[in-house]
A and B are shown apart, each in its own frame.
Chain A
């Protein structure tokens, strides 16, 4: 009789666990078995006490711990987010640059061309002035006139022509 009851123990404990998980109540046969079987009674008591005992043991183990060190958690690189205002300003700046860069290139080119033209005209005038002065000096046999005299003379010559 006792042997038969002991053979039932694994099944009884399995059912006790199932009932422990689902919150159900044991039937009369089970109760009878547990009442007459010290091992199964101890197992039932163990199941009943386990939640509170375990929580108590774990709480006690964790209670000696120091405060959490949040500052040591590595922060992620923060995602950069732009506001609408920043985006508008950036677009305006890009537009301004798009106009300013070709305009400055154009201005530089025009200025360079004008400088080259001025240089050519100046060289031409210089040549003209030098040749007419030499001619006058040679024909008069005098000392060469001052540049202002030479220019006046040149202008008179041109006016007469």
Chain B
């Protein structure tokens, strides 16, 4: 008989009651792909930065989980933690500005080349180029805008849940999201 999957809440409660490492790892395994996508988007796909950030998030989660009061879902709590940790890291490292400038320059160059790429016979190469272009375009946005787009478009979160994560009204999320998508579209120049 298949073992029923424990809810996030049950795992969190077990971890906070007895510091059960197994529950913590089970939670992490469940959310690792999402967490990595978020961090990859925030850190422009840099594996080194993403791994560092992942470590920071896990340490912060391990320390902060006993203080979790179930006032939101665990998912919201985790996304908020990812956001805060990643943004703190980006600020502390002071890389953000350089990365944005580099991404902006490179994206403009790539956008000019897109006619050539469209005729590339190798679909895989085109696909790879599209991915890179999308990540660069994402990197041209600010960290908050990037996270908004990822949460909405890649993770499919509702505007209301994103509003909870960012602690802002849903209307603010919508307007920021619209602006961010406009910027992305402009950077990509119809490439995606």
Q: Count of chain B residues with Cβ under 8 Å from any Cβ of A?
A: 48
Q: Complex formed: what's the CA distance from A74 to B24 in Å? A: 13
Q: Check A76 against B33 for contact (C-beta < 8 Å).
A: no
Q: Which A residues are in CB contact (< 8 Å) with B63?
A: 74, 76
Contact of B190 with A62 in the complex, beta carbons under 8 Å = no
A47-B132 Cα distance, complex, nearest whole Å? 18
CB distance from A137 to the nearest CB of B (A): 89
Task: Tell me the A67-96 residues at the B interface (CB within 8 Å).
Answer: 68-70, 72-76, 78-79
Known: A62-B33, A62-B40, A78-B19. A73 touches B156 (CB 8 A): no
| Interface SS of chain B | helix
Structural contact, A68 and B153, CB atoms closer than 8 A: no
Q: Which residues of A contact B (CB under 8 A)?
A: 13-14, 17-18, 21, 42-43, 45-47, 49-51, 53-62, 64-66, 68-70, 72-76, 78-79
B residues neighboring A (CB under 8 Å): 19, 21, 24-25, 28, 32-33, 36-41, 45, 47, 50-51, 54-55, 58-59, 62-63, 66, 128, 130-132, 134-135, 138, 149-150, 152-154, 156, 159, 174, 177-178, 181-182, 184-185, 188, 190, 192
Q: Verify B25–A17 contact, CB threshold 8 A.
A: no
Whether A61 contacts B135 by the Cβ 8 Å rule is yes
Known: A58-B37, A73-B58. A21 touches B174 (CB 8 A): yes
Q: Are A53 and B192 in contact (CB under 8 A)?
A: yes
* Partner among B21, B28, B130 whose Cβ is within 8 Å of the Cβ of A53: B130
Please, how many angstroms separate the alpha-carbon atoms of A105 and B102 in the complex? Answer: 83
Question: Inside 8 A of A45's CB, which chain B residues have their CB?
Answer: 190
Q: With A and B bound together, what is the CA distance between A91 and B17 in angstroms?
A: 26
- Chain A residues contacting B135 (CB-CB under 8 Å) are 57-58, 61
Docked-complex contact A68 and B32, CB < 8 angstroms: yes
Contacts of A21 in B (CB 8 A): 152, 159, 174, 177
A65 and B178 form a contact (CB under 8 A): no
Instruction: Name A64's closest neighbour in chain B (CB-CB).
Output: B47
Q: A46-B188, A51-B153 are in contact. Are A74 and B66 (CB under 8 A)?
A: no
